[in-house]
Amino acid sequence: MEEIIATIPDVPINFVRIGLHWTIVAAEVDGETRAGLASTVIGKHDHHHGPMVPEAGELDNMSSRQLALLAQSDTALLRSIGFATINALISHHPEMWEDLNAEQVLADQGKDKVVALIGSFPFISRLRSEVGELIVLEQNPGNDELPASSAPNILPQADVVAITGMTLINQTLDGLLQHCRPDSKVMILGPTTPLSPLLFKKNIHMLSGAVVEKIEPVLQAVCQGANFRQVHHAGVRLVTIRTNPI
């Protein structure tokens, strides 16, 4: 992440809001207000060891670079703030954006192939009928899902690997990438995903993420505990960038 953080402009922050499911950060860049999202990940917390957000109440007074550096924090919730800041302020590449969500891309890439999906997403039941075989890994597996600990055995079998952007926050992405075959197609998906071509250096081929287009309605939804479907309808555009766009 160091290379991406280095590209973040050092500008004043408009607001930081930590919602039940999503964290949102906004700032002014060249006269334009931009906002970014990331999953709110609480992580383990012992109430006897101080506050989870030591700077609570002062985050709006920090610079964007200071907040972006929180992506490297030892605390999951601070990393959520850091990635929301990164997503607000990374360089935009709209010429690379395709108006495709992750489900559409995986259905196309996974025809007659083995697809491994790390993370539970609402489109799973639909995607199963679109690809050759779908294997879902999840930290808290449900029906027809395997535990995330199965990744070392499953990922080498997969032609297409799709990994939730939350792995950036829980710091497991690099370990998962090590288990992917060199010839597999790898996607990072979800609103936490930074839409930065710099991630392609990690042998990642597709990034499916979110662009906040209507800040006020999205902010309202986030602060009132909305899930992502609600946040999306409030004013988020789903886009994909690829190493080899069509």
Distance CA 97, CA 99 (A): 6
pLDDT of residue 45: 62
Closest by Cα among 93, 33, 90, 79 to 239: 93
Domain coordinates of the chain in residue numbers? 2-91, 95-209+237-242
pLDDT beneath 50: ranges in the chain: none
**Residue 54: CB atoms within 10 Å:** 9
Tokens of 5: 């953080």
Residue 244 DSSP symbol: S
Q: Are 209 and 193 in contact (CB under 8 A)?
A: yes
Instruction: Please list, in sequence order, all residues whose beta carbon lies within 8 angstroms of the beta carbon of residue 189, skipping any fewer than 6 positions away.
Output: 102, 119, 121, 162, 163, 164, 165, 207, 208, 209
> The pTM is what?
0.95
Q: Are 190 and 208 in contact (CB under 8 A)?
A: yes
> Which CATH number is correct for 2-91, 3.30.70.20, 3.30.390.100, 3.40.50.300, 3.30.2350.10?
3.30.390.100
Tokens of 175: 């370990």
pLDDT of residue 198: 96
Q: Report CA-CA distances (Å) from 203 to 176, 178, 207.
A: 12, 10, 12
Q: Are 239 and 195 in contact (CB under 8 A)?
A: yes
Q: What is the 3-state secondary structure (H, E, C) of 162-199?
A: EEECHHHHCCCHHHHHCCCCCCCEEEEECCCCCCCHHH
Distance CA 122, CA 59 (A): 33
Write down the architecture of domain 95-209+237-242 according to CATH. 3-Layer(aba) Sandwich (3.40)
Q: Distance between alpha carbon 33 and the CA centroid of its chain, in Å?
A: 21
Strands (E), 60-218: 114-118, 133-138, 145-147, 160-164, 185-189, 206-212
**Residue 57: CB atoms within 10 Å:** 7
**Residue 215: CB atoms within 10 Å:** 18
pLDDT of residue 47: 60
Q: Report CA-CA distances (Å) from 190 to 51, 62, 187, 199, 229.
A: 28, 26, 10, 15, 12
Q: Are 3 and 90 in contact (CB under 8 A)?
A: no
Q: Report CA-CA distances (Å) from 122 to 138, 188, 227.
A: 13, 16, 12
